[in-house]
Structure 1
Amino acid sequence: MKLILKILLLSIVVTSCQKNQKDTLSNMNTETNPLLSESNLPYFAPDFNSIKNKHFKPALLEGIKQQKLAVEKIANSNETPTFDNTILALEKSGALLDRVSNVFYALTSAHTNDSIKIIQEEIAPKLSELNDAIYLNGELFNRVKELYNKKDSLKLDSESLKLLENYFENFEIAGANLSPDKKEILKKYNTELATLTTKFNQTLLEANNAGAILITNQEELEGLSDSQLKSLKDTAKGGWVIPLQNTTQQPLLQSLTNRKTREKIFMSSWKRADGTENDTKNIIKEIAKIRASKAALLGFNNYAEWSLQKTMAKKPENVFNMFKGLIPAATKKAQNESDEIQKMITAKGEDFTLEPWDWNYYAEMVRKAKYDLDEEQIKPYFQLKTVLEKGVFYAAEKLYGITFKQRTDIPVYHEDVLVYELFEENGDQLGLFYGDFFARSSKRGGAWMSNFVTQSKLYNKKPVIYNVCNFSKPIQGEPELLTFDDVMTMFHEFGHALHGFFANQQYPSLSGTSVARDFVEFPSQFNENWALHPDILKNYALHYDSGQSIPQSLIDKIKKSGTFNQGYSLTENLAASNLDMQWHTINADDDISDANDFEKEALRTTKLDVVHAVPPRYRSTYFSHIFGSGYAAGYYSYLWTEMLHHDAYNWFENNGGLTRENGQRFRNMILSRGNTINLDQMYRDWRGGDPKIEPMLKARGLQ
């Protein structure tokens, strides 16, 4: 999943007026703060050897100050508005803030600490105020509007025209047409939301860490391998510590034979932010309420209606219609799977009703029985670095011709981070990639991609991109083995990275992944398809000890089990997506007395609670996508883009499959286009027509 680091700044890429920056910095001692000047490292990569916690706050404040001055200069200009003195100047209105915030918000999510948390709390409302100072500035909007109204006569190139349209639309969406008194109310809402989302993220991080389970009796961990036990061992705490991942279900539930241990882990996950000292229920109610009030102020019935304006879905009813088309088939298949698992429980001589904490354990038994496939059989063939270099990178080389070289001379923010330089087929430099794969207490849950440096021909910048995951780290000396789900996550996140690396835009705010939420997941999900392609799989699925390729018999089993548990998978996703939309289609005057009751009713009314043992992938209280990140009223996008990616792979299969020609065409027509043209049209131009849902239903085993 992609982390949207600049939520508060919407789609403005904060780059700066050079004169203002030089004038301001001439009065500052830049030697004491490396963030106040461009990095001297390759690709302007951040110099983590020099950057300290103390540098962030003054650099962020200086960046905010510089952008405010630049924006005021544009807004108060006596010159007739032109593209250069208004739109281009706005696009250049804060390079310092962009550079600093890219690094700072990377660390708030991937490697935070108490100092960073304090700065984050202080800066969040200031960034919100800056955003309002731009988008609610009447004089500035009038200049943009004047240009927009005569855009046809400006004779702009297509990307410059798109930039003008993008700014105008963003101003309107942000509330530029409101009266002065309503703008003041909106500013208050925005500041409150900035503070609350920061509070939610920090509270949830504490909840995740506090929710870790300490087991002191090894018998309770029966079913785990020796390597798993070693990785969980915590001598200082006198036992084995099981950390929580951000999803409802936890990976070890698949292996643990002790039912009470499974229940303990599941309930710790389920209740991590409900009824504990890190309870988020009141925070999420307040966020949802303020978002609804903000939408009403802007003239919309609910927050989702306001939020979906520039997406492919466009309206909440289109999202709900998608749900209605999928829920019956998904829950029917999930019920069949539940019945099958219940039979397995009975066959094992057990006498209890299937519960959520039992599902993965007994589903694994069913999978072994039906497909003779054991996760422990395949893990030895998935060693992290081999998967990365001979799988993820190899697929990119075959499709797009790019090559990779590890760099050990580039400073990183944590010792686990790997760095690679990317090259075009002709040897030209393409960018830098950082991979941060292991879980730790300083990192939030989940997986994501973002930029340290965004591609831009305007500034002659090549991309510097990072992927962050939360795989279990083995103890020293043990192989770094992955589950197949982990493998798919690596392919997924690198799909986002490719979208960023292949960006070919003049303007940074239109570059790469700066697209609608329900399109941004398309390249990443599409890239997952290559994980099981025969040519790719046999190249990277090598036994960590013997070096032997994975046997064809195991490959066949993996593929045959591809539709296994898909009813569960789709239903848990639909449940989370539905919760998101339900929270964001409330009215401003709706009274939500209890978040748990709201959640239950949201699932009941949409018939997503009919299969008792299938909980939502994320419960509301720890749904960081929607309450702490940029996916509010947007989690549906994973399902929306799933339709696109299966349809796209179907095109590849019908047109020669894994070839350089097909890869280059996809790069040229999709991955390199950023947000420069209408996304629906972009897809149709490449595909030769509208996407079809049948390939998705087939892949899910629903057809």
Structure 2
Amino acid sequence: MMTASEAMPAEALSPEAPSPETLALLADNPFAVIWKTPFGLPPFAAIRPDHIFPAFEAALGKNRSEIAAIVADPAAPSFANTIEALERAGKALSRVGGVFYNLSGADTNDALQAIDRDLSPLTSRHWSAIMMDPDLFARVDAVHAQRDALGLDAEQMRLLERTYRGFIRSGAKLGPEEKKRLAAINERLSGLGIQFGQNVLKDESSYALIVEDKAEGDAGLAGDAGLAGDVGLAGDAGLAGLPAFLIAAMARAATDRGHPGKHAVTLSRSIIEPFLTFSTRRDLREEAFIAWSKRGENGGETDNRAIVAEMVKLRAEKARLLGFATFAHFKLDDSMAKTPENVRDLLELVWKPAKARAAQEAANLAALAQAEGENSAIRPWDWRHYAEKVRQQTFALDEAVLKPYLQLDRIIQAAFDVAGKLFGLTFEAKPELEGYHPDVRIWEVKEKGGRHIGLFLGDYFARASKRSGAWMSAYRSQRNFEGEVRPIIVNVCNFAKPAEGKPALLSIDDARTLFHEFGHALHGLLSDVRYGSLAGTSVSRDFVELPSQLYEHWFLTREVMQEYCLHAETGEAIPEALIDKIKRAQTFNQGFATVEYTSSALVDLAFHSLENPGEIDPLAFEAAELARLGMPAEITMRHRTPHFTHVFSGDGYSAGYYSYLWSEVMDADAFNAFLEAGDVFAPEIAAKLKRFIYSAGDTRDAAEAYTLFRGRLPTPDALLEKRGLAVV
């Protein structure tokens, strides 16, 4: 790897006067200086793993000094010297963390993973010490007590309330022994969450079902994902039924894993799901599905079952310490939903019709399978295969025919141009800027008139160094406090990488995922608030999915598809008839999709509604909850417990996986505002959407923000209609 001096021009890393972001480090450490890179983009080529830990140690020390100065201030506590002072603190720590945590998710290696494990107890202790510091909280409490007499504007009042509430929820009012115990729980949970995620990544990256395309070939498993044995193939039977786009993606995946000339089924959704859809080899579908389903429960060092059991127990204890009946009560108290009962009501509202619809769908699949001579019961590895056949028969919609119209570059441009029509944004490619991996692409985002809005990074292809799924994150968040700071936002996806010189082709689900994550990106890019802790996606978990899920709707509009869905070989626009088939098929298989998702959300809620879990067997608990729900045998949870990273790889969606459905109530209703106006780009509605949703961050209560946009709160009706579950 290049040294700092080799990677960057001298002026890019030149020292300056001390800054809140710089650290006292060796001169070759990029975190020691102000980055004079274009737009302040991290100098990725100059940052080595051995720079990270010293930078974190220095940043933690600097933050402790900043907090100590606030506590030692002899002046009476005020909004400026306490609340705004806390906003000023931690800039160096944010800069280091912004780089490291993004890299550890999107392009990790053994060195970064070791750093993550070593950092976990240090950062947990750091934040516990700050949030439980009695002298610091006394200042925050004093300001909060006089809040009505301070003449604060709405955003200042919101910051004060959120800061005060954050301290309370972090244990600031507990006694000394309770604080000590809570700090220990937080530290242990942090380490367990990191280990959970690393275990899942190892199971995913080490597994491949290798298919040799030759007469004497066989299919076997590469890696140590916990399954053993090879499956003999005759000729190229391992590729039977697979469309050309999938064969090409599997060839690229095999080459990347050191098996040139062969084909690999990996656990990336962009390969495993189409393989399960198209492969006519039921034995191979079963083998691949079981590997996918059993991530995190294969025994050995990557098994997550004991981790889950301990996390559930510790989370319940944490909630009790903080005065809540269960961890679900604790988490949901700071959400739109407010209570577990409200969440369960929504989930069960869709569960019953979804299960009934899934039963109808299963009967249709079984009838088709029997007609083809397959008399065995439909199993989870069969569902996608026969569902695709039913879809083709019912709607004459063939994914292999559709996929050439969904070129990655065209769908990216579609997402950009929708943002232009709605919000007046433009995106200028910056190929001269260097990302953290050769696949990363960078654009400058501007408003009309040329005002710089931020940088957008796109990292679209699956690789072994990247965790699965898709997400948005920020290398730098927006703020206007003491100078304007514009954001640097990244979208990370896991699409199958095409052969050299060939366009990357997406499925409909892939394209919607791209629009979804770009909706999150716009939430970060369009943020226009004063204080960084209220910026962008720093909203309640069950509101944060509204901007992303709402943005998905524009991809499926006729206006977007006709302009951007051009055939990869002929250049012809997608036919009107094919668009009509796509629209008619939108509620197809929604029983399956809703059961798959909702069962995961209900199991998450059940785990975190336990008052005193004791010693539990996570898989037995999962099975018992699914049995109580009457889970169809033909379907599995979208995320089974041992690889449920949303919930157990950190605290983000714990007791909160329901959030996608909660936000879907809003996104279905919100898009109807444009339909009611007769224009999917209606300027007046788009302006309100930008002002009250995409740009507003957490400057007001989520229900208030939605009401200001729509004039009222939504009901579930639009959601049920969207999923085809409404009772007619």
1:237 counterpart SS class: coil
Partner of 1:159: 155
Paired letter, 1:72: A
CA distance in 1, matches of 2:311, 2:32: 34
1:624-703 equivalences under 5 Å are 624-629=645-650, 630-657=652-679, 658-703=681-726
2:44 paired with 1:48? yes
Q: Percent identity?
A: 38
CA distance in 1, matches of 2:363, 2:246: 30
TM-superposition CA deviations, 1:636-661 (whole Å, max 9, x none): 00000011000001111112322333
Structure 1 stretches lacking a partner, 5+ long = 1-17
Partner of 1:622: 643
- Report how far residue 52 of structure 1 moved: 1.4
The alpha-carbon distance between structure 1 residues 71 and 490, as it changes in their structure 2 partners (threshold 3 A), is same
Contact 1:289–1:588 under 8 Å retained in 2: yes
Paired letter, 2:169: I
1:84-95 equivalences under 5 Å are 84-95=80-91
CA distance in 1, matches of 2:347, 2:573: 41
TM-superposition CA deviations, 1:572-620 (whole Å, max 9, x none): 110110111111111235331x22111101112233x1x2111100000
1:293-332 equivalences under 5 Å are 293-332=317-356
1:195-214 equivalences under 5 Å are 195-214=191-210
2:489 to 465, 476, 480: 465
Q: What is the TM-score when the length of structure 2 is the normalising length?
A: 0.91
TM-superposition CA deviations, 1:50-80 (whole Å, max 9, x none): 1111111111111111111111221233221
Decide which moves more: 257-266 or 226-235.
Answer: 226-235
Contact 1:248–1:616 under 8 Å retained in 2: no
Decide which moves more: 429-438 or 228-237.
Answer: 228-237
Contact 2:324–2:330 under 8 Å retained in 1: yes
Paired letter, 1:561: A
2:254 paired with 1:232? no
TM-superposition CA deviations, 1:153-210 (whole Å, max 9, x none): 0001111111111110001111111001110011110110111111111111111123
Partner of 1:6: none
CA distance in 2, matches of 1:272, 1:248: 16
Partner of 1:121: 117
2:432 paired with 1:414? no
Structure 2 stretches lacking a partner, 5+ long = 1-15, 213-217, 219-235
Partner of 2:400: 376
Partner of 1:257: 280
1:284-295 equivalences under 5 Å are 284-295=308-319
TM-superposition CA deviations, 1:658-687 (whole Å, max 9, x none): 233321221012111110011101111111
Q: CA RMSD in A?
A: 1.7
CA distance in 2, matches of 1:158, 1:361: 54
Decide which moves more: 416-425 or 35-44.
Answer: 35-44
Contact 2:356–2:591 under 8 Å retained in 1: yes
CA distance in 1, matches of 2:54, 2:397: 55
1:250 counterpart SS class: helix
Contact 1:211–1:272 under 8 Å retained in 2: no
Contact 1:438–1:470 under 8 Å retained in 2: yes
2:218 paired with 1:222? no
- Report how far residue 326 of structure 1 moved: 1.3
Partner of 1:430: 453
The alpha-carbon distance between structure 1 residues 308 and 422, as it changes in their structure 2 partners (threshold 3 A), is same
Contact 2:316–2:326 under 8 Å retained in 1: yes
Partner of 2:592: 568
TM-superposition CA deviations, 1:350-403 (whole Å, max 9, x none): 2111000000000000000000000011100111011101x1111111111111
The alpha-carbon distance between structure 1 residues 34 and 272, as it changes in their structure 2 partners (threshold 3 A), is same
2:54 to 58, 67, 70: 58
Partner of 1:14: none
Q: What is the TM-score when the length of structure 1 is the normalising length?
A: 0.94
Contact 1:86–1:144 under 8 Å retained in 2: yes
1:171 counterpart SS class: helix
Decide which moves more: 76-85 or 310-319.
Answer: 76-85
Contact 1:522–1:642 under 8 Å retained in 2: yes
1:241 counterpart SS class: strand
The alpha-carbon distance between structure 1 residues 247 and 614, as it changes in their structure 2 partners (threshold 3 A), is farther
CA distance in 2, matches of 1:601, 1:249: 28
**Aligned residue pair count:** 680
CA distance in 1, matches of 2:179, 2:447: 48
CA distance in 2, matches of 1:453, 1:401: 22
2:466 counterpart SS class: coil
2:362 to 338, 343, 349: 338
1:196 counterpart SS class: helix
- Report how far residue 535 of structure 1 moved: 1.1
Partner of 1:603: 626
